[in-house]
Chain A
Amino acid sequence: MNRPNRRSVLRSGVGLSALASGVLGAPTIVTAQGKPHAGTTINAACFQTTYFEYLKNYFPEFEDKTGIKVNFNMQAFPVYNQRTDLELSTRGSALDVINVTFIYSGRWIGAGWVSNLDPFLKDPKLTPAGWDPEDFAGGPQSAMKNAKGETFGFTWEAGAMILGAARYDLIERAGLGLPKTFDDLIKVCDAVHNKDNVAAFTADRLHHWNWIPYLMGVGGAVFKDPPENLTPTLATPQAAQSAEWYANLLTKYGPDGVLSYSDDQAMRSQISGRANIRTQAITWMVPLAKHADSTVQKTVRYGLMPEGPKGNFPGSNSHGLGIPAGSKKKEAAWEFIKWALSKETIAMVVKNHGYPSVCRLSIIKSPEFKQVLTLNGQDVASMYLDVLQLGGKTGYMKYRTVPIYPQVGDKINKAIERIATKQQNAPDALKQAQAEAIQDLQKAGIKIDT
């Protein structure tokens, strides 16, 4: 015989309460018990990610606590973005909670497709003071706000670009340390390239993410003054010099086929010990030390992104949870977001699953998180926090959340490819990218300097 469990008892309780309220004609008892949304089903969607894979295990707790059932659907990153963009652009009500994808945040928020969460935050009945929205790190959270400072999402994941050297032992053997400047990076690459059949550097083909910190490091930029002035600044001597330098870094020190690498292939090239250094978000760096397939667990070391003559501009990004403007169950959706991103829930995911990319400062500074991100004796948690705060302080990442960036970024990718494959010299390739970017901006009706 099945023993009654907590959920079946609760379900029976809800059923009996509802029956009693019907019979007595009184207001629903479930509401009085603090479950105003009991019986509601919300539909949530995100791309495939470990945070929500882990979180799914705890959905029954949320459902018991609120009576809200969650249909959480995860799809591949491009699939999710395509479907959600279509759903939002047609003001659909099929989704109640969505992931506000970093590169689309400007477009979705700017177009009014995502709900303003400030009214929820200001209402003490909907958000208790202890939830503490100020606890979310400012850098990642800035992508979830509009120019007026209104909040449209809360971040669950932040990417902070750091440097990972899969075979630090080779660097040490050459009598060198982790590179701190662009010049150091070339020096290290020269010294270790093809030692033990390991390529010195690796990267994926998303150059509009990987190259930009190097561009900014020499004083270049993608736009003049984003988000206000989006005049492209790609056809400049700094940009040409930097693009040539970066293309050379890939072709001279990268493994065969590096120009076509996806994110995962670049990570695998390090995990399998075929490539040494990569500058990329922490999400793809931690597996070098923790992934079961990693052959470099013992030799990997981490450092901050190298600096250029004009400073250090490591990439940072974030993804957040938001509520579509068309949702008809906004309050229930907010209940879910509050629970999924509460200090307690995030702490639980970090503690039980070692998730490395959280956004609440109180968690990032906690001993548990430090323990999770102490890798080969290095305090990677501090590096993570440094990068997130750096991005928030000067706002140099604003270029990446402007609605037109996906199109402009595509032109940058192609320009770098043309340079790396010697189809075009750097000034011409970037001049072409500049012209194409201007066309995209004009098509989108964005004013640019002439």
Chain B
Amino acid sequence: MSTSGRARRRDRLLMQALAVLLALLALSPFLWLVLMSFKTNAEIFRFPPRFFFEATTANYAALWTSEFRNSFANSLIVSTVSTALSLLIGVPAAYALSRWTTRGGGTITLWILASRMAPPIAFTIPYFLVYRHLELLDTRTGLVVIYLTFNLSLVIWMMRPFYDQLPRSLEEAAWIDGATLWQGFYRIILPLSGPGLAATAILCFLFAWNDFFFALILTRTEAMTAPVAVVNFMNYEGWEWGRIAAGGTMIMLPVLIFSFVVRRYLVHGLTGGALKG
């Protein structure tokens, strides 16, 4: 191997080692959390901490037998349903706004962002009072509606640039071939926007999944979500550190799986719409 080849190989190895080191650094809080979830409280507070310890699954077992199980299910249901509804309503809206050529289209698109123009806390009291009046407090439906409200603008604003960059001639060709407007969208346009859909879906899911504030204010026991349930392990007289770590790990798991499944589309999806000049 030539000298320059060896140098290139050495540089590549060096870069890879650096990448692994950076990844480890970035992931260390996550690794710490996962390790904590397999420790007893006494082991968690042992100083100096031991690298090798007797692992226990007691924290996970305790989660399974506590109300956390229902909260986890609530989080899954609410996040999935609100994401699906946001896409169902938001994607055709984004397509329509993209193809609408009047001057009013831009104004409407801007006003769609209104729900994101103020911090969530500004909406707290009105939402709380309306929800109490409508008996939506502590219901999954109530949470789905809230997340839908906030995610719709995200879907429309993320998906519209995708449709803007898709040539109209594609759907026009389909129409000439006898497709209806809906068929043109469903069979031609929608499959082409797959990466954008994946990226948008994951952002919507993350917003609903990670939300603490609205779940804190608008739920009590029945619709309580996992992020709020984890905080409930912070008892007045002492925190259940092992369960908090196990709960945190469980909360991260679906997001990791979801991101892993759609990772191919994620980067492409997040940058795809930006190509339109």
B220 with A47: CB separation less than 8 A: no
Q: Which of B45, B124, B137, B232 contacts A79 (CB 8 A)?
A: B232
Contacting residues, chain B, for A190 (C-beta < 8 A) = none
Stretch at the interface among B7-15, B28-36, B104-112, B236-244: B236-244
Size class of the contact patch on chain B = 20 to 34
* Bound CA–CA A83/B137 (angstroms): 12
A345 within 8 A of B: no
Contacts A79-B231, A90-B125, A90-B132 given; does A47 touch B236 at CB 8 Å = yes
Contacting residues, chain A, for B73 (C-beta < 8 A) = none
Given contacts A76-B232, A90-B128, A272-B42, 19 further A-B pairs with CB under 8 A are A48-B234, A48-B235, A49-B235, A73-B221, A75-B232, A76-B234, A77-B236, A79-B216, A79-B232, A86-B124, A86-B128, A94-B132, A94-B220, A262-B239, A267-B238, A268-B41, A269-B45, A274-B45, A284-B237
B216 with A77: CB separation less than 8 A: no
1/0 per position for B167-200, CB-CB distance to A under 8 A?
A: 0000000000000000000000000000000000
A354 within 8 A of B: no
Nearest A-chain residue to B40, judged by Cβ: A293
B61 within 8 A of A: no
A268 with B45: CB separation less than 8 A: yes
B276 within 8 A of A: no
* Bound CA–CA A267/B234 (angstroms): 14
A274 with B47: CB separation less than 8 A: yes
A92 with B132: CB separation less than 8 A: yes
B217 with A272: CB separation less than 8 A: no
Q: Which of B46, B216, B221 contacts A272 (CB 8 A)?
A: B46
Contacting residues, chain A, for B17 (C-beta < 8 A) = none
Interface residues of A in 270-289 (CB under 8 A from B): 271-272, 274, 283-284, 287
* Bound CA–CA A177/B216 (angstroms): 48
B217 with A94: CB separation less than 8 A: no
B217 with A82: CB separation less than 8 A: yes
A175 within 8 A of B: no
Interface residues of A in 319-352 (CB under 8 A from B): none
Chain B interface helix/strand/loop/mixed: mixed
B237 with A283: CB separation less than 8 A: yes
A78 within 8 A of B: yes
Interface residues of A in 70-112 (CB under 8 A from B): 73-79, 82-83, 86, 90, 92, 94
* Bound CA–CA A284/B232 (angstroms): 18
* Bound CA–CA A287/B129 (angstroms): 42
A90 with B129: CB separation less than 8 A: yes
Contacting residues, chain A, for B233 (C-beta < 8 A) = 76
A76 with B235: CB separation less than 8 A: yes
A94 with B137: CB separation less than 8 A: yes
- The distance from the CB of B137 to the nearest CB of chain A, in whole angstroms, is 7
Can you list 15 pairs linking A and B with CB atoms under 8 Å apart? A49-B237, A50-B235, A73-B221, A76-B231, A76-B234, A77-B235, A78-B231, A79-B231, A267-B238, A268-B41, A268-B45, A272-B42, A272-B46, A293-B41, A293-B45
Interface residues of B in 124-141 (CB under 8 A from A): 124-125, 128-129, 132, 137
Nearest B-chain residue to A294, judged by Cβ: B42
B125 with A48: CB separation less than 8 A: no
